[in-house]
Structure 1
Amino acid sequence: MSVTTTLWEHKNFGGQMFTSNTQSGRYFWNTWGKHNDFFSSMRAWANGHRGNAYAFEHIDFSGRFAALNVGGQFSSSWWSYFGDAFNDKVSSSLVVAREPQDIETEVALRSIVTPQFTSLFDARTAGTPLSRKGDPRVYGTFFPDHDKQLVFATIHQDLSVKVRIPLKITIPNPFGDDVEIDLGQFRWSDYSANVRYDILFFVTRDGVLHGRAKWSHVWVEAGPFSQKVYDEIAPGLHGAKSALTSAIEGGLALFNRRRRFADAYVLPGTAPDMNQSGFFANYDDDVVLVAVTRR
């Protein structure tokens, strides 16, 4: 049992074609290299599995995507043409084999994660130079360079950092040592920064679903004080992984009381309606956690 998808160079399934199959795995993915921005049509087939096929705008499974759903109402579905706005835009693709509907539970994470994360983050950064710029983005990260075997739900928070620099002036003294006057501190500028947390969901042998903040990434915009800003904010932001993991585990505790699980995985964007043939969306519209109940 598997899910198969084929991408074609031209509309109406013409030109060169490239086929992918999940075989016995959950995911099969491609980054298209020299065939970047190459495809115009796509088709997917359910071979005993429900499944989803995604064609992404960018090479890291991000940006806009065209999706196909199979194994719900349709055993095969297709885009005979992606349309002018998405023609020759595909740079990566993903095929996902799914389980029967009655043993899968879908959880759209953004609406759950956002209030919990902002509350935790604001409490930890109160009274510091750090502040959030808007709410976090929550999206799927698939097989990234820093951990190519795994898939994550990522929390991406834009930040503002107030930088205060000590101001001193020196008055030349022709009769002795120069005089240095400390004028206190003034705010030089606000620096833009961001932090990303990659959350790994997994099931242990006892059937318990877990979530762990496995990776954190801190970025600070370029400028004369970038390294100073990074050195000041990065340790605390990286150190927040343990608190974030505790919050996630606490949120999953009630979930785990009701059942035991066989697997957990994530889907990009919003939850697909398996009774529709396909849809267009953006990778950071949401991310969906799918928990598979043990039979």
Structure 2
Amino acid sequence: MTFLSISDVVLAATTNWPGLPPDCWSEARIVHNIDNWKKLPQNFKIEKVKIEKPVKFENVSPNKGYSYKNEGFRPDVTISIYAEKDHLTVIKITDVFGVSDIKWINEKLLFIRIWWGRIAIDDVIFDVEKEAIVYTEPAVDGFQAYQQYKDFCKKLGGCKCINKEDSIAQIQDSDYINIVKKTKAGVLEKGLPDIVIPQWLENTFTCGGKATWEVNDCGEGGDGRTAPACVESIIPQQNGYYLHISIIVADTTGQKIAKPQTMMIYFRKPDGYKTLDLINVKTISEAIRLYKTDLSVKSK
């Protein structure tokens, strides 16, 4: 018995997808754009077996007259059909990995899905009155390709939707950052000036370079828990320290919140050590007071 290998099928299936490529799928699917497996002529045989009286098998046609039964699994499967004739139509399928989804699709047509390997498929529609195949179509189980595209999409030349998702994420990050840049400082806390946050930061904290902006998980998602989205501004100070301020812009589902909220403020030495951790302060005003009075921030 010779089964088609996974590598043969995946190589055949990595191009010319009829719809979107596997990295765009939400789950694995059967795909119907594969070349003919050329297995049916040698491995699908039809015979006639005389009977003395009518029979009725367990799988009955919608017309209540025809019926079939299937026997065997691997490597050979037999389907016996009674269609109100003086004989049974016996289909013998050999050298198979399995046969599945045998079912009536109308009163006289029988659908048969034949697996020549773990992912190589031929779909067959058999007319029990004509005792002949009236339609065939090769297919492939896309599970292997789906997994490979997810894991190695760049090597397989796909990544259409993964790249698109990355682009969407970049657009979302930019959107979050713009929200913060357009928000007035007074929204964060009563008593702060009615100017946009970047201008307020520049006026309040002595800047020693250009601020950078990024989006992260508010520092809570590292252990696998879901976390809200934060925009963090990192501002170099003239004394060599870095000011970090994180502002919550979206909840754990990604929905933007009505008013951005301060998550944390701290100062970091060039070696990464937090010299003035203000996470637990109750107000931004208190953080500013500590900043202005803390000698470790004012001088190295």
What TM-score comes out, normalization by structure 2 length?
A: 0.28
Whichever structure has more strand as a proportion of its residues is 1
Q: TM-score, normalised by structure 1?
A: 0.28
Structure number with the bigger relative contact order (C-alpha 8 A, sep ≥ 6) is: 1
Which structure has the larger Rg over C-alpha atoms? Answer: 2
